[in-house]
Amino acid sequence: MILYLRTFGVAVAAMIFLVGCETAPITGRSQLILMGDEQVEALGLQAYQEMKKEKPLSNDQALNRRIQIVGRNIARISPKPDWNWEFNLFEDDSPNAFALPGGKVGVNTGLFKVAKNDAQLAAVIGHEVAHAIARHGAERMSQGQLAQAGGAAVAVATGSEAYVGAYGALAQLGFMLPNSRVQESEADHIGLLFMAEAGYDPREAVHLWENMEAAGAGGQLEWLSTHPSPDNRIRRLQELMPEAMAIYQRKG
C-alpha cells in the first residue's frame, strides 16, 4: 500500500508541477500547454500535408464550394481570422471531420449523410475551428508528455517496469479519455457560439446530433470513448442554446 501511495504521490506531484497556466477562450478553462505554438503548428501542417497525400481529396465542386464558404465565414469571425486557414473535402464515407493546429480542417464526404443543410455543416466546422482556436492539439500533446512523465515516475518509484502498463491503462481511462471528452464538449460550446456569430442558426446543431444518433454514431460506452455520447452532447447544446440564440438574433 505504501508503494502505491508513493507512486501516486510522485505522479500527482509531477502533474501539479507541470500544469501550465493557460486558459481556453470563452470557457476560461485552465489548460495544460507545454509546447510552443510554432512547434505545434509546424507539426500540424506536416501531418495535414501527409494526410492530403495519403487520403484522396474529393472533386465534388458543389460540396467543396459549401465547405469553403461555411469555413471562411466561421474563420472570419474567429479570434484568428489571419491564420492560413485550409478547408479540404476528403473522399471518405465516415460522417466525420477533423482539425489540426494552425487552422487546417478536413471534412469527409460522408458527413453530408448527416449534415442536411449549411447550418448543420456550420455546426461541424464551427466545432473543428473551435478545436484549433482552443489549442486542443497542443493540449493533447502536452497531456501525452505528462502521461509519459508519469510512467517514468512509476518506473522510478517502483524500481520496475512491471507496473508501467497498468499505470498506462489507468492514465488512459482516468486522465486522457476524460480530458479528451472535456475538449470535445468545449469545442461544442465554442463552436456553437462561432456558428451563431457567423449567422447560422445554432438550433441546427441539435438537429445535426439527432441525425448522428439516428445514423448510429457514438454507440460506444462514453467512459471508454474520446467523445461524449450524442445524448449528452444534445443535452449540453440545449443548455447553451439561450446564449447562442442571443448572439444569432443580435446578428440577424
DSSP characters over 15-66? HHHH---EE-TTT--EE---S-HHHHHHHHHHHHHHHHHHSPBP--HHHHHH
pLDDT tens by residue, 133-147 = 999 888 887 777 665
Residue 129 belongs to domain spanning: 2-251
From the list 41, 128, 184, 204, the catalytic residue is 128
pLDDT tens by residue, 173-189 = 333 333 578 888 999 99
Sign (positive or negative) of CA dihedral 228, 68, 64, 103 = negative
Cut 0.75: pTM above it:
yes
Residue with cell string 464526404:
109
Residue with cell string 438537429:
207
Q: What is the mean pLDDT of residues 23-38?
A: 88
Query: Is 213 a catalytic site residue?
Result: no
Residue with cell string 486522465:
175
Total number of domains constituting the chain = 1
pLDDT tens by residue, 52-94 = 899 999 999 999 999 999 999 999 999 999 999 999 999 999 9
How many Å apart are CA 9 and CA 158, to the nearest integer? 12
Q: Please, what is the average pLDDT of the chain?
A: 80
